[in-house]
Amino acid sequence: MPDSTGEHTVLTVTYVQFLGDWNRFSGVSAMLYHANKDSEVIAVRESPQGIFTTYWFMVPMGKEVWITYDGVPLANIPARCLRKAAGDDARCSG
């Protein structure tokens, strides 16, 4: 039987950034990211009208984020977003 998930967010995404300490496991139609310590996820989604929104999450140590690919990328994040902002606010390093 699966453990209690607590708060959880599922959203379609354009792309996702994983900041912190993660292990990645790949499957046929999904990727699993395991948080080795409390780690941040930044998800960017694009609406059908082409408007981007950025979401920030803190995923507790030991929890897993699933990204599934069944026509559209879907992020299953075991947390409620901490904040969101209009536009693509994800940043590249450097």
**pTM for this structure?**
0.89
pLDDT tens, the chain, 94 aa long: 455 568 899 999 999 999 999 999 998 889 999 999 999 999 999 999 999 999 999 999 999 999 998 888 999 999 999 999 999 998 887 6
Is 14 exposed, middle or buried (CB count within 10 Å of its CB: 0-12, 13-18, 19+)? Answer: middle
Q: Where are the domains of the chain?
A: 9-85
15-19: strand order across its sheet: 15-19, 39-46, 52-59, 83-86
